[in-house]
Chain A
């Protein structure tokens, strides 16, 4: 359970105002506990990513949601590919060989 104070002490270079803007924009989505926010490690990593994009690489606030959305889509697609890979992997050898063959032919 990580509170706002801890987030700010763990990531140097961001301000409380900045963090709250990111939360209000829903770029970071901590869990709500009554009126306060509770962060997890994924939230922290995402804040670090926002710090990199916004503060270090100079990406403007208009571009950030576009980048985040693309990053989220990449990870969703990767997740889906993993599901497909696992399903293919669990098939009998001949079915797998058939699928791989078809993939090579790139229909």
Chain B
């Protein structure tokens, strides 16, 4: 039996010329014109209520991606690339964010607490006076504030300078988390006709600490100890968010063991309780292994050898 090679089959989008509704010999200007017309009709941001718009626009923009670029168009016409090669990565449209928290800076003044247009129509009918001097709530503004690790866990007051040259004191609450937003009531744009001022939203960006880490309301620190401190125990100084404290390392401590300092963590905003600080011990050998240590170890090993990997099934 002779195998006949299958003809080249284009998969994915149908003919991009058909999608844009232009002839195969259409000029570049015609293609652009056709795309503009279809984009106006089908772009999801211009048709936010039309569920099919997104799919249709995707097809249109993929077709234009291909035919709008003379080089790609030539390759397509010669059969060097197929239409599916022009698919765009997943697009995000403004309508997917509008109305959400991240688009707060674009919300206009209509608010439930101040009765926006729709609500004042609903509930304001028959109310005295006209709608001539409508009170308008001022717009919200958004700021970004870099805060030191220790200021974030302990709380602080930070000054933000505003574009108009004035400044705003922001009280950073104790235990604020990275990316958390602080709302300052009435610190946004002034209202109209005696309307309320908008709010300022300050997003906090906590910079990391060189030594301390935060996990929920606990503070974690790697605590290096010497070999003699590990064997004999001892008192060592440990940094905490409240300054140095003296901690007892128990006799016979191993790397990886944790000393818990109760109440030395961060005050949780939800619970109001302070977390703990966890010090993870890490035995550090002296920089130079001297002859005395070596000969002691050699002697010690003869009579006291032990296998810390027993549970792993390893052998000494």
Pick the contact of B107: A41, A58, A74, A76 (CB < 8 A).
A76
Inside 8 A of A69's CB, which chain B residues have their CB?
Answer: 108
Known contacts A32-B143, A33-B145: does B118 contact A77 (CB below 8 Å)?
yes
Give the CA-CA distance A83 to B111 in the complex, in Å: 11
The list of the 3 closest CB pairs from A to B, nearest first, reads: A42-B97, A33-B144, A75-B98
Q: Does B257 contact A (CB under 8 A)?
A: no
CB distance from B258 to the nearest CB of A (A): 32
Interface residues on chain A, size class: 35 or more
Q: Give chain B's interface residues, CB within 8 Å of chain A.
A: 35-36, 39-40, 43, 45-46, 48, 91-100, 102-103, 105-108, 110, 112, 116-119, 122, 142-146, 161-163, 203, 205
Inside 8 A of A6's CB, which chain B residues have their CB?
Answer: none
Q: Give chain A's interface residues, CB within 8 Å of chain B.
A: 1, 29-34, 38, 40-46, 48-49, 52, 56-58, 69, 71-84
Inside 8 A of B203's CB, which chain A residues have their CB?
Answer: 31, 38
Q: Could you tell me if A56 and B39 are in contact, using CB atoms closer than 8 angstroms?
A: yes
Instruction: Name which residue of chain B comes closest to A75, CB basis.
Output: B98
Instruction: Name which residue of chain B comes closest to A71, CB basis.
Output: B45
Q: Could you tell me if A58 and B36 are in contact, using CB atoms closer than 8 angstroms?
A: yes
Q: How many residue pairs bridge A and B at CB < 8 Å? A: 105
Q: Could you tell me if B93 and A45 are in contact, using CB atoms closer than 8 angstroms?
A: yes
CB distance from B108 to the nearest CB of A (A): 5
Known contacts A76-B107, A78-B48, A80-B110: does B94 contact A45 (CB below 8 Å)?
yes
Q: Could you tell me if B145 and A46 are in contact, using CB atoms closer than 8 angstroms?
A: no
Q: Could you tell me if B48 and A75 are in contact, using CB atoms closer than 8 angstroms?
A: yes
CB distance from B90 to the nearest CB of A (A): 12
Q: Could you tell me if B108 and A76 are in contact, using CB atoms closer than 8 angstroms?
A: yes
Inside 8 A of B93's CB, which chain A residues have their CB?
Answer: 45, 48-49
CB distance from B94 to the nearest CB of A (A): 4
CB distance from B38 to the nearest CB of A (A): 11
Give the CA-CA distance A69 to B98 in the complex, in Å: 12
Q: Could you tell me if B100 and A42 are in contact, using CB atoms closer than 8 angstroms?
A: yes
Instruction: Name which residue of chain A comes closest to B96, CB basis.
Output: A45
Give the CA-CA distance A40 to B103 in the complex, in Å: 9
Q: Could you tell me if A76 and B39 are in contact, using CB atoms closer than 8 angstroms?
A: no
Known contacts A42-B102, A78-B48: does B143 contact A57 (CB below 8 Å)?
no
CB distance from A44 to the nearest CB of B (A): 7
Give the CA-CA distance A72 to B105 in the complex, in Å: 11
CB distance from A49 to the nearest CB of B (A): 4
Inside 8 A of A77's CB, which chain B residues have their CB?
Answer: 110, 118
Q: Could you tell me if B146 and A33 are in contact, using CB atoms closer than 8 angstroms?
A: yes
Pick the contact of A40: B95, B102, B118 (CB < 8 A).
B102
Inside 8 A of A71's CB, which chain B residues have their CB?
Answer: 45-46, 94, 98
Known contacts A32-B143, A33-B144: does B107 contact A48 (CB below 8 Å)?
no
